[in-house]
Structure 1
Amino acid sequence: MHSSICMPISPSSHTLLKSNNNPFLGDHLSSTPCLPLRRRPSLATRALLSTTKEAVLKDFHERRALKIISGLQNFNKDNVASVVTAAEKGGATHVDIACDPELVKLAISLTSLPVCVSSVDPETFPAAVEAGALMVEIGNYDSFYEMGVVFTPEQILNLTKETKRILPSVALSVTVPHTLSLPDQVKLAENLEQEGVDIIQTEGGKSSYPSKPGVLGLIEKATPTLAAAYSISRAVKIPVMCSSGLSAVTAPMAITAGAAGVGVGSAVNKLNDLVAMIAAVRSLANSLEASAGRHSTSAERALKM
């Protein structure tokens, strides 16, 4: 039996914001959680924020994003360093780590890729952004499912609104839980788009238990997240990232289904050898590049007919 979780936002988050001077955070020094006082940022600041977000989202808009995920509750510096290094050397476009300022500093010392931080507590995001994170993610719920905890659409919307309130100019991705029915996933995605979310992420790998080995098993495992990507991408205009249970076999299927990118975690972060991690990321990147090449060739042929 699952239980739901509600993460109240404490006043300490507002104190934290007052001490930050990162231009990516905007200017919102509110003394009351519900009625933030915001001054209009300068034209130069708005231009900088716009340019930064545009750069972070560029690969999504080009439908070629590959995000490597170390894990929301993975605070092992050695493992995170290996995952980040593998993402950099293997050809990924983004890396996603736990929301911890020290891990962010470690990551940006190892890669030039945009660093995304994942959490279900919005008040932890500002310190990570101050440390150098360029994107925040509400999601990567797998570790909570293992504890019997699920998130309702209302809770996710509230977390989203709070995150947008305290970090209005930072790229925001939100995961739609696979625990919802497919129609409810689509409805939540539509509501998140209305709240100003930049990317919708799907999931489903751990809910699928393949009955076949090999390639058939890989396709079976990816089915829930592929179905979500297909349905959600046709309901919203913002990019959809397909994540959970993907491999080099199924990553191109996600793009064909309508996703703008793929997110891969355990297929990389569970490996014990850095060389093997790099090889896994390179295999994913190559599969996406090959798929893009086939689509380009098909389009060129269609134009010549």
Structure 2
Amino acid sequence: MNIHQEILAKSEQNGHVCLYQHLKNVADTARVMAKQLGFDEQIAVEGALLHDIGKVSPVFQQSLISPNKKKPGSVFRHEIASLFFLSLVCQEHRDAVIDMIVAHHKSMYKDVRELGILDLDDTSDCFKEHSKLFPEWSYIAIDILESLGMETHEISLEEAKENYEYVIDYCDGRKKGCSEWRGLLMAADHMASAMETAFEMPLDKLFIKPDLSFYNRQSELYPLSLISSDNKKMHTLVTAPTGAGKTDFLLRRCRGRVLEGTKRSVYLRENPKMVEEPRIEIVR
């Protein structure tokens, strides 16, 4: 098996990470996240392995070496080329894998720069542009995917076009709204990208439930510490002076994980000039 270490996911300025390593890191991270969040682990791994495989294209590789030499008006979205390999996953998994890949950088439709897959399909020969030299680079993509443990077969240009047309039909028929699969892939991709140039992926440290018992402390000096935090509603708004015990109260309101500074788990407003009693509102 050949991992083609010369094929890059990121330019030298951004870490000089080879595509094989990036796909492995994203897949490993996606697997852990899927297990903890109740997603199908196989679909998560398949989407992660395919999400950037279009970067094998020489058009993309050249853009990493000479980013300023792109022809005016030319557009290459690697995620579109990645979807040419959709038929490597079973039919039942394809829609979820499309959700993971198709918009992990740009919205599929009405992107602000009109670079979504449906935008480009309307305004250009999108498949032709993204499949340039496909027979010359698709076998490299297959080698990399095979090295990562994926079951593969040769993808012809005709099969790639069928996959592309399936994606267009799926996206055309999709209702507006968010996709949990897209969120999973983006979370895994962002985490892997942030960690892979400096450390080994800390997968064994993900999703460890913290011990927040320290914040159950009570004192009359901190009025909020005497108020029960038990409530099944999801969001909390606290308005109170400095020193009232907002941090302890809000951490007692957290369930499971605590994200950075708790600001993603709670909404906190602080006004040092306030002198009235603390006000707590727990909302849906």
TM-score calculated relative to the size of structure 1: 0.24
TM-score (norm 2): 0.25
